[in-house]
Amino acid sequence: MTCATVGLSGSIAASATSTKTTPVTHEATSSQGGEKSFIPLPRHDSTNIVTTFSVLPAVGAPTGVVPLTSQTFTGSARRGHVFVHDGTAWADLTSVFSPGFLYDVTLAPSPSTALSGTGGVLTSLTNSGIPVGRLRVTVRKADGSIFVSDCSVASTSGASTLPLTAADCTTPTRL
């Protein structure tokens, strides 16, 4: 095993900084027709989602939802595919939004409506009163259309359902 020390000198050392102040740019490439086009760089986003929770039961109806644990989800759109990392592995969600070339992704907690349930179980994750157990994935296709899908990452009783798979996501809706 060998180790090496790398030193910067001259103008390279003078311009080296520990912070990035300008966005990443990509050189224009010349296609066969002579037109210059830009190569899209991978798009990334992340969000934190409550993956386990408890429902405070009352007689006949729940009184609240208490978050117990959460997980950071990271999304990446690269080469026409959308991947989401759930903390354990990368899930390929391209099939949820196919057909089409996907090049942009955003992640967020799915919205919820007023609390509704029976005993210690929610009637639906969308009726939790707070955003828990569902990840909203929004993608943009090459034709400019934008689609959104909500993926379940918890059960209605508050247990985590990770790892995330394409089967956990709803049919996409065009915005």
d(CA 161, CA 149): 17
Among 128, 135, 137, residue whose Cα is nearest residue 157: 128
Give per-residue burial for 3-24: e unless 16+ CB within 10 Å, then b. Answer: eeeeeeeeeeeeeeeeeeeeee
Quote the pLDDT of residue 90. 95
For residue 11, what pLDDT is reported? 44
66-121 pLDDT per residue, tens: 999 999 999 999 889 999 999 999 999 999 998 889 989 999 999 999 988 777 78
The DSSP result for 33-83, as a single string, is TS-EEEPPPPEEEEEEEEEEEEEEE-SSSEEEEEEEEEEEEEEEEETBEEE
pLDDT digits (tens, 9 = 90+) for 110-132: 999 998 877 778 889 999 999 99
Tokens of 144: 């400019």
Q: Can you tell me the mean pLDDT for 139-165?
A: 95
Residue 161 has pLDDT above 80, yes or no: yes
pLDDT at 19 over 70: no
Q: What is the pLDDT of residues 40-54, one digit of tens each?
A: 566 789 999 999 999
Burial of 76 (0-12, 13-18, 19+ CB in 10 A): middle
Place of tokens 């224009």: 28
pLDDT exceeds cutoff 50 at 16 = no
